[in-house]
Structure 1
Amino acid sequence: MPEAGGTHRVHGFALPPLAAYVHIPWCVRKCPYCDFNSHAAGPELPEEAYVDALLADLQADLPRVHGRRLVSVFFGGGTPSLFSPRALGRILEDLERHVGFADDVEITLEANPGTFEQAKFRDYRGLGINRLSIGVQSFQEAKLKALGRIHDGREAIRAADMARAAGFDNFNLDLMHGLPDQTIEDALADLRTAIAQGPTHLSWYQLTLEPNTVFWSQPPELPEDDTLWDIQEAGQALLAERGYGQYEISAYAQPGRRARHNLNYWTFGDFLGLGAGAHAKLSDADGRIQRLWKTRLPKDYLAADKPFLAGERLLDAGELPFEFLMNALRLTEGVPTELFGQRTGLPLAVLAEGRRDAEARGLLIDDPGRLAASARGQLFLNDLLQRFLP
């Protein structure tokens, strides 16, 4: 397979499924732990202007679609539920008209309990949005206050009730652990409360201190490592007991309710990235794979004299093993070995040396038919991935 200029001509490559991520970059208030591209909303959101920009951004990306329909759409942020049903409807109409939806398309909207209005969410459901992801983080007042959240525990429970009343039978609750001064009992109480709301999916992940956040410069006192480990073990046991199977590092689902949008990321699928600071991964029929990113600041994204595309980079063949495994090995079951060739166009032999090393260290399972981290490899994922660096 000849290579030139960082591109590669591939054998057996198949265009992967295509998803779309739509970024809404405003929140009521910026949380001190958040390192996402989100900004405190002013008294008036430039909703119409931003949707106009999103639709123009989509038009610019259409040549990269290559006839594929969308298997999922994810409205993320920020807080997308700050936008009206009319605004989100315009986006969905354009996506369906110009790209098209798979028959079983999954359309997810992120929302925070403080932005829930039952009539508004019924309208969202009427648009075809069929999954919610509700940012609860905790149900305990002291913990929510420490995290800078604007809702309380009662509002979080009411949000789940309203989601069901609005017609959503598929929703995720986002929950954090390892919070300031959190005990095992605190963490399990949050989990039990979340489970009692009957979500089909739970994202349960540890608070980490990220650069460029308030918590990074003014760190709170977090639990000791032994406590964090105990929380993780006890929480995983509770989730398994209640029927939530872990299928990714921080994702737990009832049978048949795994998040298809996120699974597309983890299996190295393609995705459009629309909106301020959105990232994309897109392949062409010749097997070239690009990462793209859009202009980050909303004011620049909205400026008529500035392009939507801030940068793009063609992935070299030597980078693809790490890029693929960085995603696929997050899955507890891993992926079938043939997926590597289908998504990268490279022969499985390019992984041979790294696989032998990882298997010898007990980080990768010894299975010719699967690429999957062992239990030890899941705990030391960064160490495992080091075996496949270019």
Structure 2
Amino acid sequence: MTKQILNNLLFIVLPIFLIGQGREEGFVRTDTLGKTKNIKFIGLPIAFYTPETQFGVGGGGQMFLLNNTNQYNQRLSNVLFSGIYTTAGQIMFNVTPQVYLGKGDYFIDAEYLFEIYPNSFWGIGPETPEENEELYDQTTHKLKVSFLKRLPPDLNFGFTYNFANHQVTEVEEGGLLDLGTILGSDRTIISGIGAEFNLDTRNDIGSPTDGQLFGIGAHFSSPILGATHGFNKFTLDLRNYEPLGARSTLATQVYIENNYGDVPFQGMAFFGGSNSARGYFYGRFLDKNMYVVQAEYRYRFKPRWSFAAFGLIGSVAGDASDLLRFNSVKPGYGAGVRFKLLKDQGTWLRLDIGNGKDGQNGIYFGVNEAF
């Protein structure tokens, strides 16, 4: 554990610019490689650390459309892309266009992801034992396209198309996935449409100190559209950021996910990770239903330095009525530090140490706040 902490601290002081698992706000705008009257291009190195990936390095870039701006919040249309290799043997290529139309009255938000991803699987349910862990390899092509309409000043709603092709290429002999009884153990295609609604009054995306985000999503995967399994996914994301004086903020989040139908394990709710349940490996527990309630106190003790302490509870279950069973509740807690890279640019480096139930723990190093 000490060695991992030291490695993360070394990455903080290295003269390299970083991105976590975010969007354009995760990039530090550093080296402008090309600029015309309408387009600006920036090349960027990438580095991060999570328990699921270990250290990740790579490169990417971002193209800004200078004449295509959201008039409500002054965000530019852009296309962001990256290529990453991790010490866990994972390869990821990602392209995410974000385009504003009608000066921000309409918004196209898209993402394409290709990855070769060795991962761990413990089974399905809230109480899978640690000794169940087995390794598997998966190759994924994923596409998401959302078209949203803005109702000024803060309301957005629209429709989404989701496609994912998950090909499990290698499993452990005699393991749970090798038995073939778990949906998605060989191949899963998710294809369907959905609807999204959100009310966003945050004063900043990467590190908000005031405002709220209320998001609702409904997504459907259907064999009519080429899916291997038919199921429905509903999500609720409620966040509040309450200033406590000039330097402090109390951030809270309630996240609920419910899935109904023939849900492959790739489409289930994944508990853990660097954003929703720090202290648990992302996917350590998974099932059809999940909730996470977390709170974080943030204190800016210097203009470019802040401290955070967080706590959370959550769980997964096959039946939503079982989510609040006392013996399946999974608590987590931890703390971390943040450093603002540039005085006039709102990008923060984040280092968190999280602890969970039964010795679960994790170190998370990336960009901007967890939520």
Q: TM-score w.r.t. structure 2 length?
A: 0.32
- Structure of greater Rg: 1
Structure with more of its chain in helix, by fraction: 1
Q: TM-score w.r.t. structure 1 length?
A: 0.31
